Amino acid sequence: MKAVRTDRELECPGIDAGLRASGVELVTLPDGIAEADLIHAVTDADLLLMCYTPVTAPVIDAAPKLKGIVKYGVGIDAIDIPAAMRRGIPVVNVPEYAEETVAEGAFALMIALAKRLPAITAAVSRDGWVWPEQRWLGRDVSGATLGLVGCGKIGRSMARMAGQGFHARVLGFDPGVDATTMHAAGIEKVDDLQAMLRACDFVSLHCVLNDKTRGLIGKAELACLKASAIIINVSRGALIDEAALVEAIVAGSIGGAALDVYSVEPLARSGHPMSALFDRDNVILFPHLTFFTHEAMRRLEDDTLARCFEILEGRPVTIRSHDPRLRVQTSRVSFT
């Protein structure tokens, strides 16, 4: 058996060791590998593991032995699932390993900007000390209003931290979650996104990327925010019109942004659509690592290996995600 794992920069020693210990020949490939090189690598592969690298129809069609595609992570936007289904190749992700972890990361980013931690620690590193001048004033989360765009498991965890933990008012916009479910999580359901944004001191994004949500936070939505409002995105970069976000921050029309995800990754200090946001003390640019903890990576590696062995042993692969793009599969899958 041969497995190919892309994006080896995301170190997963447990996955690699587990596959090799079972006798699988494992080839690891770097992030950003050209499609032609990936095609060459998978021509005799039984299993393909990916995290960020696009798995296109030509890649799938070039792998006659392929028994399954495993996303060792959550988002499946980069996989041509219809192409895999045409071949009867199951596609599976690992949806539950970092729900609480990513919520913690989003909350950490929010409170870091609220308390002006990046600006103050940078000043202390440079000057040795700062005095309590007006420019260093932070803000309380307690008594503030947090708006959630997306109220699934991660969003509801964020609501618990901010509401129960810090006594913030929590509003939620999510057409797919009913008011009763939101209320049980301490969230007030709002059906008008722009109306919610006008009320918020903080806005945190927790929704999937699809045709309906791409660019959901655009220029008009950003214009609704208070001049002091902070926006947090740990979900998908393309949920926000990033050019409009850069414009709003540079113009000072919003209070700041804490970002962990971007339409184009990796970031770069120059030549990137978000390059203008480097070195701003009201912006945190985190390198897509809010998921990256010891505990979450253990869960990711364990679940990924379980899915790999189901595929390699010819058993139905377990689909835990409720994403309809995965739930429509009918070949060699089972659902929980």
CA distance 172 to 182: 8
The residue from 265, 280, 299, 325 that is catalytic is: 265
Distance spanning both ends of the chain, measured CA to CA: 27
* Beta strands per DSSP E along 65-200: 68-71, 91-92, 145-149, 169-173, 188-189
* Beta strands per DSSP E along the chain: 2-5, 25-28, 47-50, 68-71, 91-92, 145-149, 169-173, 188-189, 202-205, 230-233, 256-259, 283-285, 317-319, 333-335
The residue from 8, 87, 280, 288 that is catalytic is: 288
CA distance 300 to 294: 10
Active site residue 11: no
Active site residue 301: no
Residue type, 31: D
Active site residue 206: no
Number of Cβ atoms within 10 Å of the Cβ of 62: 18
Strands 202-205 and 230-233: parallel
Q: Output phi, psi for 235, to 5 deg.
A: -100, -80
Chain centroid to CA 333: 25
Q: Output phi, psi for 49, to 5 deg.
A: -110, 135
Write the CB contacts of 55 (distance below 8 Å, at least 6 apart in sequence): 38, 48, 69, 78, 79, 80, 84
SS3 67: coil
The residue from 236, 242, 307, 310 that is catalytic is: 236
Residue type, 204: S
Q: Catalytic residue positions? A: 236, 265, 288
